[in-house]
Structure 1
Amino acid sequence: MKKRLISAAILAASLVTSANAADYVVDDKGAHAAINFKVKHLGYSWLTGRFNVFDGKFSYDEKNIESSKISINIDPNSIDSNHAERDKHLRSGDFLDVSKFKTAKFESTKIVDKGNGKLAITGDFTMHGVTKSIVIDAEKIGAGDDPWGGYRAGFSGTTKIAMKDFGFKMDFGDVLLDLHVEGIRQ
């Protein structure tokens, strides 16, 4: 009898814990998410742009943030620097080589609650056929009911990657990434 009570208590505790976690799909269709970048152009100015096509999902548990997870898929062919000829060059073998590397991906491996809505999200980032661990400094922006009867949560974050770490033929140094993610609870 005692073993049954302990088993029931453990099961109840795990159900309560998992009930706090919520799964979200990134709202890439409603333009409520963005993956922006900037990189120095020849050391003279900033080149800015974005990736227009990506998707992802995340699980967020406010009571146990360390158990949260995020996964994002990026189509490198969707790079958009607001200049068609430059975008063609960025898609070439000098940079993204999109004919060979059709996808980029971020998969979280650890999330640390830094307090006051601040998070450190560590994960594996794969681009140009190379996977490196990166840390995204993130912040919870807010969460709540939306006008369409759903529930949303939003975060923003920044990180930087070194072009040389990902094997690009041309290297202009660090790429600064500015990330905005709004998810719709499932």
Structure 2
Amino acid sequence: MATTKWAIDPAHSEIGFKVKHMMFTNVSGNFEKFDASIETEGDDFSTAKFDFSGETSSITTGNADRDNHLKSADFFDAEQFPKLTFKSTSFDKISEGEYKLTGDLSLHGVTKQVKLDVEFGGLAKDPWGNTKTGLSATGKINRKDWGLNWNSALETGGVLVGEEVKLNIELQFIQG
């Protein structure tokens, strides 16, 4: 069976995250510049191989001061580590439309395995005849596992920035 290549549709995709701030509210953000692709055998996604890269300097949270801090050596160190990457190692079907995506996330000079829950939206043709697919992925990582250790203690106890990062990823791909 022939290999099918799927390219990201960035206009209909989002790489989002949430982190606790001051122990009680979430701050959301995303990466604005990224690329992703999938390779499958025909239209069989059980064989899917995912490849993703994002520019760390494209992080945005809606606050320029916070974004600049995140890009600094305290966090992503975007100058020294301009990209984060993900390469899948498996895509396992759990039930109809539900998968577990496992792969290696490289960030800040560290590579670790992560597992994401994926909702597979199936295949559909858009109004222009292009075959598309959509996936929603969620998961959690501990930022300290990748050396993103900066924090500040609060007078009332606890810390300014949570360690757990919740990932919320919406991806749309076009068959190419």
With normalisation by structure 2, the TM-score equals: 0.89
1:179 correspondence with 2:169: yes
- Residue 174 of structure 1 and its aligned partner are, at CA, apart by 0.6
**What's the secondary structure of 2:170's corresponding residue?**
strand
Q: Which has the higher contact order (CA 8 A, sep 6+)?
A: 2
1:168 correspondence with 2:148: yes
Count of paired positions: 166
> Letter of the aligned partner of 1:185 in structure 2?
Q
> Letter of the aligned partner of 1:153 in structure 2?
T
1:39 correspondence with 2:19: yes
1:25 correspondence with 2:15: no
> Letter of the aligned partner of 2:170 in structure 1?
H
**What's the secondary structure of 1:149's corresponding residue?**
coil
> Letter of the aligned partner of 2:172 in structure 1?
E
With normalisation by structure 1, the TM-score equals: 0.84
Q: Which runs of 5+ in 2 are unaligned?
A: 152-161
**What's the secondary structure of 1:68's corresponding residue?**
strand
Aligned partners of 2:119 and 2:104: how far apart in 1?
19
Aligned partners of 1:63 and 1:151: how far apart in 2?
10
Per the alignment, residue 92 of structure 1 pairs with: 72
Per the alignment, residue 46 of structure 2 pairs with: 66
Match of 1:125 among 105, 120, 130: 105
Per the alignment, residue 78 of structure 1 pairs with: 58
- Residue 64 of structure 1 and its aligned partner are, at CA, apart by 4.7
In the alignment, is the contact (CA less than 8 A) between 1:107 and 1:123 conserved in 2? yes
Per the alignment, residue 109 of structure 1 pairs with: 89
Greater radius of gyration (CA): 1
Per the alignment, residue 13 of structure 1 pairs with: none
In the alignment, is the contact (CA less than 8 A) between 1:65 and 1:112 conserved in 2? no
Per the alignment, residue 55 of structure 1 pairs with: 35
Q: Give % identity.
A: 34
Flag the structure with higher helix content. Answer: 1
Aligned partners of 1:167 and 1:54: how far apart in 2?
22
Aligned partners of 1:153 and 1:37: how far apart in 2?
22
In the alignment, is the contact (CA less than 8 A) between 1:124 and 1:133 conserved in 2? yes
Moved over 3 A (4+): 60-66
- Residue 63 of structure 1 and its aligned partner are, at CA, apart by 7.0
